[in-house]
Amino acid sequence: MNVHDYYQSVAGRLKHCFRFSDYVIATGNELTATGADPAFPATAEPVERLEALTVDRGLQVHLPIIGKQSQSVLMPIDFELFLKDENHLLYTSPESQKALFSHLIPVIRFLENFFRSRGLPYLLDYTPSGGHILFHNLLGQRATDQLIQIGYLEQDLIRACDYRDPHDIRRRNGVSHHAARAFSGLGKLAEYISLVTMEAFKDNESRGMFPVFISDALDCSINFDNSWNEGSPFMRSIRSPFSLHKKNLEKYGIEGHGPLVDVIGTCFDGSHAIEETDMEKILNTMWNLENASEHARKFSGHIPCSNDALIDLIHEYKASDLYRFHQDFDGQEDMPAGKALEHAKRETKVPDWSRDILYHPNPKALQPKNMIGLIYDFLIRAEWNPRHIADILRDLYQNPSFHWTQDFFKYPAVEKANFWARTYSAVTLWKQGRLSL
């Protein structure tokens, strides 16, 4: 079976994945020939083009996080194995991948139990490096109203959401403030779930297992890649269930095998599950399009919508120290532009390692491993307010003399600074025993 036959066999189910979307993001190195950015070759096209992009062209396809007319917001909890210079081992052979997944399986089981024990609907889609837990949140529903209440929008993020471009399908309608706040609220829940999981597996390293962390700040870890929640909502997407997965070919140049495929493991509606629990079978299926086609018949492709059980999870989060930390962070006044960096350069309690980032931030101030070190030094050694640490990053990002290539309109500078300072300050406080869940 070739990629076109595979996509033809799952075309109907794939369409169901996009039921709340009016466009699709397709990616693949083939797109560079039509002028796409070689760093991440992608095209955004009307959802009516889904079959042409898959069955005809064999591209990978991604779901927009924001649904059509801002009427839905997708939650994509994204977790994966991060192996620094050895990530290619996940794509070298099924045997190599299975050995590495032994670190990940307990975390997957924990996450599934987290959702099922609370009656939270979800779809678990496995990827060759980890998985995505997906569920839609419809605007106007009680649970989504609660999400909106815990969300927070910076002024530069509001400007980005309000901007409309009739020539850009992702921005022709903008993003409503309610949808953007729901997106923000989902990010805070994702952070809570990440920290709860980190707490459950805090002894992993002492047991010879990979530690659980947020983003790729550790050399070898089980990484909650929460970066999907940083930046403008209209720029964010997640690879769709049933999509081809071509990192083996396009990122690592591993010859001798065609593209892999993402494989659904579970669809839980809040009370009943359709699932495949044999992990070896799941992983083998990723490497065989014919088996993947057969396996797909078990699932409709409908990604579940959240129910009122999400309200209980929000209340659980609101009872935690993390919520109180978020409320305090969001309620703080910013330092005037330029002042945080000015004061930071005079700070005597941080080591030269962090001080160097203040003078040479590109690209260090964008890299998780360096950001968490900088944030630790200013938070713990110098006892800075976390929001003012964010202001340091903001001052760096807003200074054009550092020759940033990052688009700080699509990925707003203040929002980006707040996101990473908030995230890694919470992680640091948790590791110090000063934030409990």
- Determine, yes or no, domain membership for 352: yes
14 contacts 261 by C-beta, under 8 angstroms = no
Percent of the chain with pLDDT over 90: 95
What pLDDT was estimated at residue 290? 98
Same domain as 374, residue 264 = no
State the pLDDT confidence band at 274, using cuts at 50, 70 and 90: very high
Same domain as 356, residue 307 = no
Same domain as 236, residue 359 = no
State the pLDDT confidence band at 255, using cuts at 50, 70 and 90: confident
Same domain as 281, residue 188 = yes
CATH number reported for the structural domain that contains residue 109 in this entry: 3.90.920
- Determine, yes or no, domain membership for 319: no
- Determine, yes or no, domain membership for 356: yes
What pLDDT was estimated at residue 76? 98
- Determine, yes or no, domain membership for 287: yes
Same domain as 307, residue 427 = no
- Determine, yes or no, domain membership for 327: no
- Determine, yes or no, domain membership for 324: no
pTM above 0.95, yes or no: yes
Same domain as 185, residue 155 = yes
Angle at 398 between CA 392 and CA 404, to 5 degrees: 110
pLDDT digits 0-9 by tens, 59-111: 999 999 999 999 999 999 999 999 989 999 999 999 999 999 999 999 999 99
Return the HEC string of the chain. CCHHHHHHHHHHHHHHHCCCCCEEEEECHHHHHHCCCCCCCEEEEEHHHHHHHHHHCCCEEEEECECHHHCEEEEEEEEEEECHHHCCHHHHCHHHHHHHHHHHHHHHHHHHHHHHHCCCCEEEEEECCEEEEEEEEECCCHHHHHHHHHCCCCHHHHHHHHCCCCCCCCCCCCCCHHHHHHHHHHHHHHHHHHHHHHHHCCCCHHHCCCCEEECCCCCCEEEECHHHHCCCHHHCEEECCCCEECHHHHCCCCCCCCCEECEEEEEECCCCEEECCCHHHHHHHHCCHHHHHHHHCCCCCCCCECCCHHHHHHHHHHCCHHHHHHHHHHHCCCCCCCHHHHHHHCCCCCCHHHHHHHHCCCCHHHCHHHHHHHHHHHHHHCCCCHHHHHHHHHHHHCCHHHCCCCCCCCCCHHHHHHHHHHHHHHHHHHHCCCCCC
Same domain as 75, residue 46 = yes
Cα four-point dihedral sign 9, 10, 15, 16: positive
State the pLDDT confidence band at 199, using cuts at 50, 70 and 90: very high
- Determine, yes or no, domain membership for 326: no
- Determine, yes or no, domain membership for 72: yes
How far is 436 from 190, CA to CA, in rounded Å? 16
Same domain as 389, residue 352 = yes
The residue from 281, 314, 347 where one domain ends is 314
Same domain as 302, residue 249 = yes
The residue from 314, 349, 380 where one domain ends is 314
pLDDT digits 0-9 by tens, 169-189: 999 999 999 999 999 999 999
pLDDT digits 0-9 by tens, 305-319: 999 999 999 999 999
pLDDT digits 0-9 by tens, 352-373: 999 999 999 999 999 999 999 9
Same domain as 341, residue 305 = no
Range of the domain at 340: 333-431
Same domain as 338, residue 308 = no
The residue from 314, 345, 377 where one domain ends is 314
How far is 287 from 271, CA to CA, in rounded Å? 31
Q: Is the peptide bond before 363 cis (omega within 30 degrees of 0)?
A: yes
Same domain as 425, residue 395 = yes
Number of domains in the chain: 2
